[in-house]
Amino acid sequence: WVLMATGRTPTNIAVIKYWGKRDEALILPINDSISEISLLGGRFQSCLREIRKRARDFEDKEKGVKIKKEDWDKLHVHIASYNNFPTAAGLASSAAGLACFVFTLGKLMNVKEDYGELSSIARQGSGSACRSIYGGFVKWCMGEKDDGSDSIAVQLADETHWNDLVIIIAVVSSKQKETSSTSGMRDSVETSPLLQYRAQTVVPGRVLKMEEAIKNRDFESFAKLTCADSNQFHAVCLDTSPPIFYMNDTSHRIISLVEKWNHSEGTPQVAYTFDAGPNAVLIAQNRKTAAHFLQKLLYYFPPQDNDLSSYLVGDKSIL
Ligand code: DP6
């Protein structure tokens, strides 16, 4: 007999970034972080171990299958996984993959833990993966305990809460990043004075304001906070020794374009955020703004001119 379980998890994009760990083994962060919008879309061993610990007896009378919890260890698991999101976009596809692995394995092994607890298992695979257990707007609460049991993700609002937003992803380069997030944040924790200031003084207030902006669908605050946090994260990377450069000239030109556009409109219409790479994640207030802005983006960055190509996530009829 064969038992099957399927699962589907979203990738996630941080609008308040996670950067820096206080425990490398358990993957415990030095600040809260918030991610948004579900784009449906190596460290599996510790996740597998944690799920196995929680496996339960299972019985399917129709199939005549009975598995004792201790027997899950002896069974072979075949995993088939695919991404419906361009991996080249470098957008937390590993976070989505790990979260999906934890979620689906939990389902298969009859694990009864709630989403919060599953998120803390996914976290042990990759920090940002814990936020992919949910869709919508998600907060990863850093927690205080040494064992990490309170370092879990919670959903702030589901995916229907603010569905006017449109995400445009400008793929600046599909090259593999030179410094992985794991080693980059380790170096920042060891060498960047700005990171300590950010985690202790800036992020706590910013997280509260971001929660408020999300609750009220206040795009102006949302955009200001998102852009400021992305810029501070990259400033921390520059403050690291040796400095880490995730953005390139094209990324910087995209930032200028958004800033000028927002300035000319009087209020922010588009937000930008960059993770540990040069690709831009642009969040527009609504379809109309997205269509307008995308035309401008394609005018200044024609795909045939350089290696920038744009993906519009979701509804492609926007143009
Ligand atoms: C810049 O979750 O990839 O995307 O915990 O070491 O696996 P590890 O790091 P990872 O770091 C993500 C960093 C970020 C910001 C974020 O997603 O919050």
Parallel/antiparallel/unpaired status of strands 153-157 and 166-171: unpaired
- pLDDT score for 242: 97
Q: Report CA(94)–ligand 1 centroid distance (Å).
A: 10
Q: Which of 150, 141, 87, 206 is nearest to 95 (CA)?
A: 87
Say what the pLDDT of residue 245 is: 95
Give the per-residue pLDDT at 10: 86
CA of 262 to the centre of ligand 1 (A): 28
Query: Which residue out of 44, 46, 128 has the highest number of ligand 1 atoms within 8 Å of its CB and is therefore the one to mutate?
Result: 128
- If 0-12 CB within 10 Å is exposed, 13-18 middle and 19+ buried, where does residue 49 land? exposed
- Considering only CA atoms, which residue is closest to atom 11 of ligand 1? 181
Question: For residue 53, with 0-12 CB atoms within 10 Å meaning exposed, 13-18 middle and 19 or more buried, which class applies?
Answer: exposed
Q: Identify the segments of the chain with pLDDT beneath 50.
A: 40-41, 305-319
Ligand 1 interacting residues, C-beta cut-off 6 A: 14, 17-19, 27, 33, 126-128, 181-182, 275-276
Q: Is 305 helix (H, G, I), strand (E, B) or coil?
A: coil
Q: What is the residue with the minimal CA distance to atom 14 of ligand 1?
A: 275
Look up residue 136 and give its amino acid.
Answer: G
User: From ligand 1's centre to the CA of 163, what distance in Å?
Assistant: 25
Distance 288 CA to ligand 1 centre (A): 32
Which tokens in the block code for residue 237?
Answer: 């990377």
Distance 106 CA to ligand 1 centre (A): 23
Query: Could you give phi then psi for residue 273, rounded to 5 degrees?
Result: -150, 145
User: 279 C-alpha vs ligand 1 centroid, how far in Å?
Assistant: 15
For residues 228-251, b (16+ Cβ closer than 10 Å) or e, as one string? Answer: ebbebbbebbebbeeebebbeebb
- Give me ligand 1 centre to Cα 275, in Å: 8
pTM score > 0.95 for this model? no
Beta strands in 61-178 (DSSP E): 65-67, 137-140, 153-157, 166-171
DSSP letters spanning 168-189: EEEES--SPPSS-HHHHHHHHH
DSSP string, 128-143: GGGGGGSSSEEEE---
pLDDT, position 87 = 62
Structure tokens at 248: 């390139």
Residue nearest to atom 6 of ligand 1 (CA): 182
Ramachandran sector of residue 20 (left: φ over 0; alpha: ψ -120 to 50; beta: rest) = left
Q: pLDDT tens digits, residue range 189-239? A: 999 999 999 999 999 999 999 999 999 999 999 999 999 999 999 999 999
Q: Give pLDDT, residue 173.
A: 79
* pLDDT tens track for 237-266: 999 999 999 999 999 999 999 999 999 999
Residue nearest to atom 5 of ligand 1 (CA): 127
Please give the Cα distance from 319 to 244 (Å, whole number). Answer: 36
pLDDT for 312 equals 43
Protein residue closest via CA to atom 3 of ligand 1: 181
What is d(CA 274, CA 278) in angstroms, rounded to the nearest whole number?
A: 7
